[in-house]
Amino acid sequence: MSPVFQVERLRKSFGGLAVTQDVSIAMEPGDRVALIGPNGAGKTTFVNLVVGHLAPDSGKVMLAGSDVTGLDPVRRVRQGLVRSFQVTRLFSDMTPQEHVALAILQRTGRSGRVLGHFQAMPEVMDETRTLFETLGLVAVATRKVAEIAYGQQRLLEIAIALALKPKVLLLDEPAAGVPQSDTPRIEAALAGLPPDLAVLMIEHDMDLVFRFAKRVIVLAAGAVIFDGSPQDVTKNARVREVYLGNYANDRSAA
């Protein structure tokens, strides 16, 4: 299969600090990749570069065979490159239903309509409901986002991303800040992602990483130091040194 998503020799420095150093990654439809690395390794920066929120110093981003490096972020989203945020970004005054409806209307080119109401559009309501049933958000669908639990807000982030029907999904720490008791629900949502979607997930929770990913990429100080199977990542000496060592130490200390 040909890659649906390809990053070639991406570079970015903030002043003297090289945050992304010659990063190249390719993904095929259906891939489940985890991007891990210590705090400050440049994971979020990588996502920002790929989706166009930051401009790279050099390098290329290809989506479904075409170069999107010069496109603005909105065009990339419309072509199927969608991200979620490490710290939830939602409209606190609006309901989950409104969020997802807005995403669907956007995808189907109807968000500029000045007449009508989405609740009177049966296809939008049906799609919203199906998504909420899959993710377990039906009960809070019409509450204000400010009033729902953080775990539910994280699920809503995933729901919005899915409503955009992406080809490539970049999840920035989908379980960050969620209480331990709620992580199974996030994990279930991740397990239920469409099978042909290419997913790259940033995550610090190694248990989640090992259950989700078929492939692990390790980033340290802005450079890829490992790209391979989850079985091999624990055996790699450099990875143990910069990352898993800390992880193992954290675990034994805890």
Partner 1 sequence: MTAASDTQSAVQPAYRRRDLTGIAVILGIAAIGYFLFPNNLALLTRILAIALLVLSLDLVTGFCGVATLGHAALFGAGAYAAGMAAAHWGITDPIAMVVVGAIGGAAAGLLSGVIILRGHGLSQLVLSIAVIHLFHEAANKASAYTGGSDGLAGISPDPLFGLFAFDLWGRTAYGFGVALLVIVFVLLRILVRSPFGMLCRGIREDPVRVGAMGGSVRGTLVKMYVISGAVAGVGGALNAISTQVVGLDSLSFTTSAEALVMLVLGGTGSLYGALLGTAVFMWFEDVVSAANPFHWLTMVGALLIAVVLFAPRGLFGTAALLLDRLKERRR
Q: What is the 3-state secondary structure (H, E, C) of 136-171?
A: CCHHHCCCCHHHCCHHHHHHHHHHHHHHCCCCEEEE
Name which of 5 and 243 has its Cβ closer to ligand ATP: 243
Q: Report in angstroms how near the CB of residue 136 gets to partner 1 at its nearest.
A: 17
In this structure, is the dihedral angle defined by the CA atoms of residues 185, 188, 192 and 195, taken in order, positive or negative? Answer: positive
Name which of 47 and 137 has its Cβ closer to ligand ATP: 47
Determine, following the binding rule CB under 5 A, whether residue 44 of this chain makes contact with Mg ion.
Answer: yes
How far, in Å, CA of 116 to CA of 156, rounded?
24
How far, in Å, CA of 182 to CA of 160, rounded?
19
Among residues 213, 206, 168, the alpha carbon closest in space to that of 190 is found at 213
Residues 6+ apart with CB under 8 A from 29: 1, 4, 167, 196, 197, 198
Determine, following the binding rule CB under 6 A, whether residue 177 of this chain makes contact with ligand ATP.
Answer: no
Out of ligand ATP, partner 1, Mg ion, none, which partner does residue 39 contact, by CB within 5 to 8 A per kind? Answer: ligand ATP
Binding part of the chain for ligand ATP, among 40-48, 55-63, 129-137, 182-190 by CB under 6 A, reads 40-48
Determine, following the binding rule CB under 8 A, whether residue 125 of this chain makes contact with partner 1.
Answer: yes
Q: For residue 69, how many other CB atoms are within 10 A of its CB?
A: 19
Identify residues 170-229 at the interface with partner 1 (CB under 8 A): none
Of positions 24, 119, 229, 249, contacts partner 1 by CB under 8 A: 119
Determine, following the binding rule CB under 8 A, whether residue 102 of this chain makes contact with partner 1.
Answer: yes
How far, in Å, CA of 74 to CA of 54, rounded?
13
Of positions 3, 25, 42, 98, contacts ligand ATP by CB under 6 A: 42
How far, in Å, CA of 230 to CA of 217, rounded?
9
What residues make contact with ligand ATP under the rule CB under 6 A? 14, 19, 37, 39-45, 86
What residues make contact with Mg ion under the rule CB under 5 A? 43-44, 86
What residues make contact with partner 1 under the rule CB under 8 A? 51, 53, 73-74, 77-78, 82-83, 85, 89-94, 98, 101-103, 105-107, 110-120, 122, 125-126, 129, 160, 164
